[in-house]
Amino acid sequence: MSLYAIQTEIMAMEKKRRLYSMAGIVLIAAVLISGYGLANDLNSGGFLTGMQQFFDYPSEIVKEAWAAGFSFFLVMGRFVPALVETLNIAGAASIVGGTLAVVLAFLGSANLGVKPPVVVTIVRRIMDIMRAFPELIIALFLIFILGSSPVPAMIAVAIHTAGALGKLFSEVNENADADPVEGLASCGATWLQRMRYGVLPQVLPNYLSYFMLRFEINVRASAILGFVGAGGIGMELRRTIGWGKGAGDETAALFMLLILSIFVIDQLSSFIRRRLVTGRDPE
Amino acid sequence: MASSTLAIQPPAPISGSLAVFSRLRRSSLMIMAGTGLMVLYLLYTFISFDLWHLISRSQPQRAVLLATDAVAHKVHITKNIRGAGRLSIAVEGERTATYETPPGWVTVSDDLTRVDLAQGYRVDIYDTHVIFQIPDIGPVHVRITDAGIKTTLPKGVDPPDWLRATSAKFDARPTLGRRVQVSKARIEVHRYFMGWENFFFPFRSELTAYSPGQLFALAFSDQRIDPDMPNWRLMFTTFWKNPGWQHKQVFVALLETFLMAILGTLTAALVGLPLAVLAAANFTPAQALRFVVRRVFDFLRGIDMLIWSLIFIRAFGLGPLTGALAIAFTDTGSLGKLFSEALEGVNNKQMEGVHATGANRLQFYRFGVIPQIIPVFVSQTLYYLEANVRSATIIGALGAGGIGLMLVEAMNTQRHWENVFYLILLTISLVMVMDTVSAKVRSRLIHGRSGT
């Protein structure tokens, strides 16, 4: 092939690629413009009026919180049990879901010699379904049967966690080094022993890192589910917001607690994750 | 002397393996301790959640009720004792779905109403006297007297556990699909049928009477049912405006939820990218600016979608715009942070090469930077889009509208479980379709790239 032919071919490919990019950009722009137009029409309050009112609510609750003075901190203290409940929902859901995820991940990894191989496919589909089910639906359904309580939210979040972490964990498993497993197999180790001594030590740091990230997400999810009747800080928020004017200091206190705890968990989890990733190398 | 000390020293390989064993033992110990702590913590949470009390208080029959009502519908035969003693036969007891002429399994004569509940179950209603024929048990007589409800079982039959008979009320449900209730005010018989009632056309519509094949033929027929419009349009409008199922409203709600997710995610990605450039150390030398932009990301992320939604719902009211903005605000922080990390990992050589050709600033980004981060950009945006379809249903439930709010409202009314079930199916389908499409696009993108 002559140089010229190569050049024209490359130019043609480049042209095609740019055409695709342009088409993509035009499509995204069209979606955005028409979408916002449609959304604005469907919304009960328009964009412009909304923008003017945007700071009304935050400033209202800040003002009320300011007026409360020092007692604002007492209000915050009063809501600590609600915060603990939300954190407990997230914590229990992370542990239950995470444990389930480990089991699912080992059964759903293609490289670990799970027999028969069809188990891998089935477990993967199960994880897909667990992930796809919106937490809200499971929570609402269980609240209907069990009554208003933190447990429905815990179960809902745990199911989603099992699916989401299971997928990530199985990806970690599939990247694990096969040599230790083969070595153990040659010593006559059973499947469980091979997993425990050959795979688990390799994947555990990554598991923990994903687990921390998930815990943070679950705290947010538990707070939201509280709003539909699962208890904790979300439930308190619905109560104070439902009261409208007058409960601004309480709302502000709840916002403050939620933001603070998310900030602390965010920092803590990124610190631990950094430690896990860097701490592994020296060994 | 020296040789004897040497002899008692263990050979080197064993000492090495001992170290391995002790490390292994330590790590097993740590895993055990970790597991123990987790179990303790779970115990504590279960106690604080009051799990045992909760289980004892739970109402599993509600799940059965929901499951039956979700896939079946019932026809009520109601006789009011007070007033004129009128008899009505209606689907789900709704006035708009009352039978003008009784269906074949109900025969009405002057003094007797006979309801055939199939498989040997039969209810005969005389004035204030009900005879419930139950196979294997025989006739159960229920009389409404001034003293209360009097129930007489056949001789030698113990009252089964599905039958409750007090002087105030008689309630028998021998199977899930048959129920007879008698109180001083009314006699009510329920018969269940599988399937959703009037899913396509309302009860009153003349279209309800046709079979699917007839409807298909009718759609293209020139003989108009309604002279004002062709038959296919009549069918569509009747379906679209079906009051029981609200297909139009459901469709709009789904569209709203979808709009929230797609607009919110796209906005977050497109706003997040330029901000990410300002937060990346290798593009923005000014440390103060970087610091500020990073704190903006932390702020947007830290406020949390719940709080953003509540603020936006207050300002913008119900609707997709509210949800889209709440998602956009939160995810500008998350995506911005991710993009800035991706930008800090780009390869300098390509940028230097573009720079060396004398490219201007725009060309520098267009050819030197964007091609390198586009895979991260697109795949992360798609990941967030998937997650945001779920988030949009939840934000909707908080009060932003869409399918989430519709679902919460349908559940709160605690009626029409078939509608709830239908909405759940639609929501899950929406989420699954989005997941599948996005997974396809992502894998296409990755394979397409590695292939060329």
For the beta sheet containing B122-125, the strands, ordered from the edge strand earlier in sequence to the opposite edge, are B106-108, B113-116, B122-125, B129-134, B138-145, B148-152
User: Could you tell me which residues are beta bridge partners of residue B175?
Assistant: B178
Whether residue B310 and residue A241 make contact (CB cut-off 8 A), yes or no, is: yes
Confidence of residue A157 (pLDDT cuts 50, 70, 90): very high
Contact B377, B340 (CB under 8 A): no
Q: Which residue has the tokens 């929406």?
A: B430
Distance of alpha carbon A237 from alpha carbon A258, whole angstroms = 10
CB-nearest to A92 from B42, B315, B401 is: B42
Contact with chain B for residue A48, Cβ under 8 A: no
Whether residue A144 and residue B397 make contact (CB cut-off 8 A), yes or no, is: no
Dihedral (Cα; B41, B46, B47, B50), 10-degree rounding: 160
* Interface with chain A: mutation pick from B24, B25, B38, B45, highest number of A CBs within 10 Å: B45
Whether residue B59 and residue A42 make contact (CB cut-off 8 A), yes or no, is: no
Output the average pLDDT for chain B: 82
* Interface with chain A: mutation pick from B43, B297, B330, B394, highest number of A CBs within 10 Å: B394
> Between residues B127 and A129, which one has the greater pLDDT?
A129
Residue B156: per-residue pLDDT: 79
Contact with chain B for residue A213, Cβ under 8 A: no
> What's the gap between Cα B205 and its chain centre?
30
C-alpha separations of B365 from B313, B328, B409 in Å: 38, 24, 49
Q: Which residues of B368-403 are buried (b: 16+ CB within 10 A; e: fewer)?
A: bbeebbeebbbbbbbbbbbbbbbbbbbbbbbbbbbb
Distance of alpha carbon A202 from alpha carbon A182, whole angstroms = 14
Confidence of residue B84 (pLDDT cuts 50, 70, 90): low
Contact B257, B373 (CB under 8 A): no
Stretch among A185-194, A208-217, B58-67, B427-436 having the lowest mean pLDDT: B58-67
User: What ranges do the domains of chain A cover?
Assistant: 1-39, 66-280
Q: Which residues of B touch A32 (CB under 8 A)?
A: 263, 266-267, 270
How, if at all, do strands B163-165 and B148-152 pair?
A: unpaired
Which is nearest to A236 in space by CA: A221, A219, A255?
A255
Q: Which residues of B touch A96 (CB under 8 A)?
A: 42
Contact B263, B412 (CB under 8 A): no
User: Could you tell me which residues are beta bridge partners of residue B180?
Assistant: B172, B189
Q: Which residues of A touch B260 (CB under 8 A)?
A: 39
Which is nearest to A236 in space by CA: A3, A27, A60, A80?
A80
> Between residues B42 and B159, which one has the greater pLDDT?
B42
- Taking only the tens place, the pLDDT of each residue in B153-169 is 888 778 888 888 888 88
The structural architecture, per CATH, of the domain A66-280 is Orthogonal Bundle (1.10)
CB atoms within 10 A of CB B406: 26
Domains in chain B, ordered, with CATH?
A: 73-194 (no CATH), 206-240 (no CATH), 247-451 (1.10.3720.10)
Confidence of residue B330 (pLDDT cuts 50, 70, 90): very high
Residue B253 has pLDDT above 70, yes or no: yes
Which run of H or E residues covers position B123? strand B122-125
- Name the residue type at position B72: A
Category of A8 on φ-ψ map: left (φ > 0), alpha (ψ -120 to 50) or beta: alpha
Give yes or no for a cis peptide into B227 (omega within 30° of 0). Answer: no
